[in-house]
Amino acid sequence: MTQHTGVANSRQLRPALLFLLVAVTAAARTSLAAQQVQQRVVRDLSFEGNRAIDDYTLSTAIATSASSWAARYWWVRWIGLGEKRYLDELELRRDVVRLILLYRQSGYMNAVVDTVVRRTARDAFVRFRIHEGEPVRVARFDLLGLASVLDTAALRHDLPLHIGDPFNRFLYQASSDTVHSRLRNLGFPYADVYRSFQAEGERRRAEVALEGVPGRRMRIGAVEIEGLRDVDTATVRRILPIRPGGVYRQSQLYRSQRELYGLGVFRSANVLLVDSLPGSAGDSTVRILVQVEEGPRHRVRVGTGYGSVECFRLQAGWGANNFLGGARALDITGRLSKLGAGFPADAGFRNTLCRALRTDPTSDTLDYSLGVTLQQPAFPGVRQATALGVFVERRSELRAYTRQAVGFNLGVIFNARGGLPLSLGYGYSVGRTTALPAVYCSIFRACADSDQVFLANRRTFAALTATVVRDRVNSPLDPTAGSVVTATLMHSSRVVGSDPFYEFNRGELEIARYHPIGRRAVFAWRVRSGTILPQKITLSGQSANFVPPEQRFYGGGPNSVRGYGRNELGPRVWVTSDTARLDSVALARGDTLYQDARTVPTGGNSAFVLNAELRLPSPVFPQRMRLGLFVDVGQVWERGEELVSVKGVRVTPGVGVRFATPLGPVRLDVAYNGYAPESGPLLFQTDSTITRIHCTSSGQCDRYPKNPRTPDGFFRRLVLQFAVGQAF
């Protein structure tokens, strides 16, 4: 029986392996010095027989690597693109030892590694053959000296290494680090953890132990702050979660650092334990040092961009850090969009670069916004943050509505930098929302000019909004793991200062989850749903559920169901000016089609969207480009107008490419839509009137078209979407 024993800070490698590494290196150098070896391009690198350790981990542990995709496969490598990596015979021999060491550190003491190399005049094809053997498993795991300060039963469950697992030295070290971290977060800053083990190779069993020496429990003594220039010390002390007299916790130091960065006024922040020794026998406090470096007082932002719906856009901003002291932040932002398509900057781009706006009457004028926001951290309490903003804006939604307003927003975030922040906001604005006449006539039964003018009058809109966000993703721009849950409730009524016509309750829930697959692939999914409970209004003697057009749900677009263009999914109305086909004989023949019939989205009061996407590395330029396979499911409904059913849900699959940029991925998606256009009310519109047609004397109206048909040909059913950032 062979027995191996190790303790903390002792040798981790057996002398035989070190001798083997030296011998292989010396032999390889002698061999290579004796003959001139022509460099060969590594066209393929593979592993065979590995089950405990995946290919990616093995490939990162060795020096030999395969050439890039474009330089490996014969049908593309003749172009000469792609990075070529050459075979180093010396490093190849070392790689065998590296893999053996990796396996032994992972608990596989009897692993055997061999190489099979096929060489041609210019190329090399490398395969590592691995026989892992049976691992040495943990038969006993003792936790010593911890019972008085930790729940050892719960601790065992949280450790990376468990009884029955292969004796992986990396997980053993991680378990020691876990215990050490727990002790530091319980007030023991000078705790030590010692490791000891006995591994028996022939019996394939190991007995391991972790012995904790907590030392003395410490409390926070003095908290010293260095580096302040303009920000006052009292503000920083108020922000810090550490307080003199509190129990020392390592996690509180990290959290204090995050809080300081969250203020936005510091270029760097560091919170550390100064005392390296406990001091005298009666000293039970430690000293904390906060080191900060303030950033620039002012910041300027300028940006421009292009979008198919916004045409060209320009945005700029100016900000002041520590405005009037107290770590306040003042931010002024401005934005112009539809440059080149709307008055007074119309350059005729609606017929060229911005063709999506060609038939949109809401895009005849520039959209703009100007806002001033003042943010105050740690107000009214330490865990809160308050923001006050005023704004003026003109914004339009494609073929739906235009909103012009001036107002203010007041918001308070509770648990501002915690794991579950709650935002309470109040918004008040005075303005008008102008929808297309077809929307007023179809949804609100306001076909008369006087009724439409009445709905478009200037009104006050006020709302209370509550939002809860649980954010657990690893990246805000391109997440690959974690989840985000967002719930929003909005209430608008006369009680909060709104116009009597703006009374409704609106709720939304969104859940997104990201599952890493292997090292570089991600499976992501999102569910989003919402509903609106409106009040009824009476116009021209008819009752209708009124929700402002800007608060309704719209579907379709690059971040919704991608098989539909922006606002093309859900309730709609058809509009025609073709008077030649309005005779009763033509209508009696069945489904009359109008050559000039166009659709106008009306939005809905209920919505549901489900997105599922598999994101994979591209075989070409995998560091910069990724592929996406997705399926989008969803629909928007008008409750009360139509029966909500599964049959109305639309499913559109597709593929896409993502290019990595500093602003996030630039995305190009192509989705397949095999559905016929959705039917809706048919309206006849002239310059002065709009009426609903295909109606009987009893008031029953048919939907148009009666028998919708899918577009002819595969390519006509494809929808192209372009956007910056992931869909979710």
192 and 253 inside one domain:
no
- Rounded Cα gap, residues 425 and 462, in angstroms: 11
Q: Which residues contact 687 (CB under 8 A, 6 or more apart)?
A: none
Contact status, residue 603 vs residue 552, Cβ threshold 8 Å: yes
In a domain, 515, yes or no: no
What percentage of the chain has pLDDT greater than the value 90? Answer: 52
pLDDT band at 189 (very low <50, low <70, confident <90, very high): very high
Instruction: Look at 18-22, 519-523, 603-607, 693-697 and tell me which has the smallest mean pLDDT.
Output: 18-22
Domain stop point among 192, 213, 234? 213
Nearest to 256 by CA among 286, 287, 288: 288
Would you state the pLDDT for residue 1?
A: 35
| DSSP collapsed to 3 states, 493-547 | CHHHCCCCCCCEEEEEEEEEEEEEECCCEEEEEEEEEEEEEEEEEEECCEEEEEC
- What's the residue count for the chain? 728
15 and 125 inside one domain:
yes
pLDDT band at 162 (very low <50, low <70, confident <90, very high): very high
183 and 226 inside one domain:
no
On the question of a cis peptide bond just before residue 534, with omega within 30 degrees of 0, the verdict is no
177 and 208 inside one domain:
yes
* Residue 622 amino acid letter: P
Mean pLDDT, to the nearest integer, of 389-416?
Answer: 92
In a domain, 188, yes or no: yes
Would you state the pLDDT for residue 10?
A: 36
111 and 169 inside one domain:
no
Mean pLDDT, to the nearest integer, of 99-126?
Answer: 93
- Rounded Cα gap, residues 208 and 166, in angstroms: 12
Domain stop point among 177, 198, 213? 213
172 and 251 inside one domain:
no
- Rounded Cα gap, residues 608 and 615, in angstroms: 23
pLDDT band at 5 (very low <50, low <70, confident <90, very high): very low
pLDDT band at 121 (very low <50, low <70, confident <90, very high): confident
pLDDT above 50: residue 618: yes
β-pair type (666-672, 112-119): unpaired
Mean pLDDT, to the nearest integer, of 464-484?
Answer: 92
In a domain, 175, yes or no: yes
Domain stop point among 241, 276, 294? 294
Q: Which residues contact 382 (CB under 8 A, 6 or more apart)?
A: 238, 239
In a domain, 336, yes or no: no
pLDDT band at 8 (very low <50, low <70, confident <90, very high): very low
Segment of 34-48, 162-176, 357-371, 424-438 carrying the highest mean pLDDT: 162-176
Would you state the pLDDT for residue 481?
A: 93
Taking CA atoms, 139 is separated from 163, 205, 575, in Å, by 6, 6, 77
Would you state the pLDDT for residue 69?
A: 67
pLDDT band at 424 (very low <50, low <70, confident <90, very high): very high
pLDDT above 60: residue 29: no
Would you state the pLDDT for residue 588?
A: 41
Which string of DSSP letters, residue by residue, matches 242-258? Answer: --TTSBP-HHHHHHHHH
Nearest to 526 by CA among 464, 444, 610: 610
> For the purposes of burial, counting CB atoms within 10 Å of the CB of 553, is it exposed (0-12), middle (13-18) or buried (19 or more)?
buried
Please give the structure tokens belonging to residue 285: 């406090």
pLDDT band at 585 (very low <50, low <70, confident <90, very high): very low
In a domain, 535, yes or no: no
Give, for 479, the enclosing helix (H) or strand (E): none
208 and 119 inside one domain:
no
147 and 117 inside one domain:
no
Would you state the pLDDT for residue 696?
A: 67
Would you state the pLDDT for residue 34?
A: 38
- Rounded Cα gap, residues 106 and 97, in angstroms: 14
Mean pLDDT, to the nearest integer, of 659-673?
Answer: 87
- What is the Cβ-side half-sphere exposure of residue 312, based on CA atoms within 13 angstroms? 13
Please give the structure tokens belonging to residue 501: 């016509």
148 and 114 inside one domain:
no
Task: Spell out the alpha helix ranges (H) of 35-110.
Answer: 55-60, 74-77, 89-105
pLDDT band at 290 (very low <50, low <70, confident <90, very high): very high
pLDDT band at 78 (very low <50, low <70, confident <90, very high): low
Beta partners for 369? 335, 393
Contact status, residue 357 vs residue 350, Cβ threshold 8 Å: yes
Looking at per-residue confidence, does 661 or 489 come out higher? 489
pLDDT above 60: residue 63: yes
Task: Name the CA radius of gyration of the chain, rounded.
Answer: 34
pLDDT band at 2 (very low <50, low <70, confident <90, very high): very low
Q: 218-247, pLDDT tens digit by residue?
A: 999 899 999 999 898 998 998 888 989 899
Number of domains in the chain: 3
Instruction: Look at 258-262, 291-295, 385-389 and tell me which has the smallest mean pLDDT.
Output: 258-262
| DSSP collapsed to 3 states, 276-298 | CCCCCCCCCEEEEEEEEEECCCE
* Residue 547 amino acid letter: V
Produce one character per residue of 87-101: b if its CB has 16 or more CB atoms within 10 Å, e if not: bbbbebbbbbbbbbb
Q: What is the CATH number of the domain that holds 32?
A: 3.10.20.310
Mean pLDDT score of the chain = 85
Would you state the pLDDT for residue 326?
A: 86
Looking at per-residue confidence, does 78 or 53 come out higher? 53
Would you state the pLDDT for residue 532?
A: 94
Would you state the pLDDT for residue 544?
A: 66
86 and 109 inside one domain:
yes
Produce one character per residue of 478-496: b if its CB has 16 or more CB atoms within 10 Å, e if not: bbbeeebeeebebbbbeee
pLDDT above 70: residue 697: no
Would you state the pLDDT for residue 641?
A: 57
pLDDT band at 587 (very low <50, low <70, confident <90, very high): very low
Please give the structure tokens belonging to residue 664: 């996030």
Instruction: Look at 287-301, 441-455, 574-588, 621-635 and tell me which has the smallest mean pLDDT.
Output: 574-588
pLDDT above 90: residue 526: yes
Which string of DSSP letters, residue by residue, matches 299-321? Answer: EEEEEEEEETTTEEEEEEEEEEE
User: What sign does the CA torsion over 11, 12, 16, 17 have?
Assistant: negative
Give, for 615, the enclosing helix (H) or strand (E): strand 606-617
Instruction: Look at 204-213, 493-502, 562-571, 636-645 and tell me which has the smallest mean pLDDT.
Output: 636-645
In a domain, 626, yes or no: no
Please give the structure tokens belonging to residue 341: 């398509």
pLDDT above 50: residue 35: no
pLDDT above 70: residue 72: no
8 and 122 inside one domain:
yes
Q: Which residues contact 364 (CB under 8 A, 6 or more apart)?
A: 342, 343, 346
Nearest to 137 by CA among 100, 162, 119: 162
In degrees, rounded to 5, the angle at the alpha carbon of residue 660 between the alpha carbons of residues 659 and 665 is 75
Nearest to 417 by CA among 445, 376, 383: 383
Domain that holds residue 177: 137-213
Mean pLDDT, to the nearest integer, of 36-59?
Answer: 86
pLDDT band at 30 (very low <50, low <70, confident <90, very high): very low
Please give the structure tokens belonging to residue 65: 């690597």
Q: 329-355, pLDDT tens digit by residue?
A: 999 999 999 999 999 999 888 888 888
Mean pLDDT, to the nearest integer, of 536-562?
Answer: 81
In a domain, 187, yes or no: yes
Q: 80-109, pLDDT tens digit by residue?
A: 556 788 999 999 999 999 999 999 999 999
In degrees, rounded to 5, the angle at the alpha carbon of residue 362 between the alpha carbons of residues 357 and 367 is 90
pLDDT band at 184 (very low <50, low <70, confident <90, very high): very high
> For the purposes of burial, counting CB atoms within 10 Å of the CB of 168, is it exposed (0-12), middle (13-18) or buried (19 or more)?
buried
Task: Check residue 658 and give left, alpha or beta (phi > 0: left; psi -120 to 50: alpha).
Answer: beta
In a domain, 460, yes or no: no
87 and 196 inside one domain:
no
